[in-house]
Amino acid sequence: MTQLTWTAETRTEEGKGASRRLRRQGKIPAIIYGLDKPARSITLSSNLVERALQDPDAYNAWINVEVDGETEQVVIKDLQRNPAKEYVTHLDLQRVSNDSYIVKRVPFEFIGTRTAPGVKKGGLLTILQASAEIRAKADQLPTKIVVDISELDAGENMRLSEIALPEGVEFMALRHGSSDYDQAVVKIGKVRVKV
C-alpha cells in the first residue's frame, strides 16, 4: 500500500469567504473526520496536493497528515474540483487505523487485453465498469484491482465474482448475497461471420 506524508495547518476561519481567501494564498481547505473523534478543519498546500494527485494511486493511499505536532492517518474520502480549471478546491479526509474497515471505490486495471482469445478472433472488447466499490481494512486497501482477461473468449464476459482479489478485500456488491448484484465488468463480443 502506498503511503504519503502531508503537512497541514489548523484552519480557524470557516465559510465561503475564508475558503476563497485560502485558495488565493495557494492553500486548500480540508476536513478530517471519523473514528469517533471530533472533526478537524485544516489547510493543505495546493502545490503539495496537486503534485501528489498526479499519481492515480494517491486517491487510495494511506496519508499521514502532520498537523500541530500530531499525525492523523487518513485516506481521501471525497474531493471537489473547480469545474472550469479542475484544480482541487476542498478535500474530505477520513481517519483510518490498522483495524478499521473502509469502503472505497477502486479502479480496475485490465491486463491480457491483446492476448485474449476472443480479441484475437476479432471480438470487440467492451469494458463495462472502470471501477468498483470495495471493503477492506485500511492497511490492506489496494490502489487498484488487476483484472486478467487473457483467457476470455468471444461471446464471454467476466463478472465481479470471477475476479481474484487481494486477501481481506471484498466487493460491496457481492455482500448483498444475491446473484443479481454479480455484475459483468468486461466482455468480448461474438465474432460476426461474413457471408
The structural domains of the chain, with segments of one domain joined by +, span: 3-96, 102-188
Do 117 and 78 meet the contact criterion of CB atoms below 8 Å apart? no
Could you give the CA distance from residue 40 to residue 134 in angstroms, rounded to a whole number?
A: 26
pTM above 0.85, yes or no: no
The domain made up of 102-188 is a member of CATH 1.10.10.10: no
Q: What is the pLDDT of residues 18-37, one digit of tens each?
A: 888 888 898 999 999 999 99
Question: 3-96 and 102-188: same fold?
Answer: no
What pLDDT score was predicted for residue 2? 65
- 94 band by pLDDT with thresholds 50, 70 and 90: very high
Give the chain's length. Answer: 195
**Angle in degrees, CA 148, 174, 172, rounded to 5:** 90
What pLDDT score was predicted for residue 63? 92
| All residues at 6 or more sequence positions from 101 whose CB lies less than 8 Å from its CB, including other chains | 135, 136, 137, 138
Q: What is the mean pLDDT of residues 103-128?
A: 93
Do 62 and 2 meet the contact criterion of CB atoms below 8 Å apart? yes
Could you give the CA distance from residue 142 to residue 2 in angstroms, rounded to a whole number?
A: 9
Q: What is the pLDDT of residues 156-181, one digit of tens each?
A: 999 999 999 999 999 999 998 778 89
Could you give the CA distance from residue 19 to residue 48 in angstroms, rounded to a whole number?
A: 17
Could you give the CA distance from residue 93 to residue 79 in angstroms, rounded to a whole number?
A: 9
Q: What is the mean pLDDT of residues 7-26?
A: 85
Q: What is the mean pLDDT of residues 50-67?
A: 90
- For domain 3-96, give the CATH number: 2.40.240.10
Q: How far apart are the first and last CA of the chain?
A: 52
What pLDDT score was predicted for residue 3? 77
pLDDT surpasses 90 at 152: yes
Identity of residue 131: S
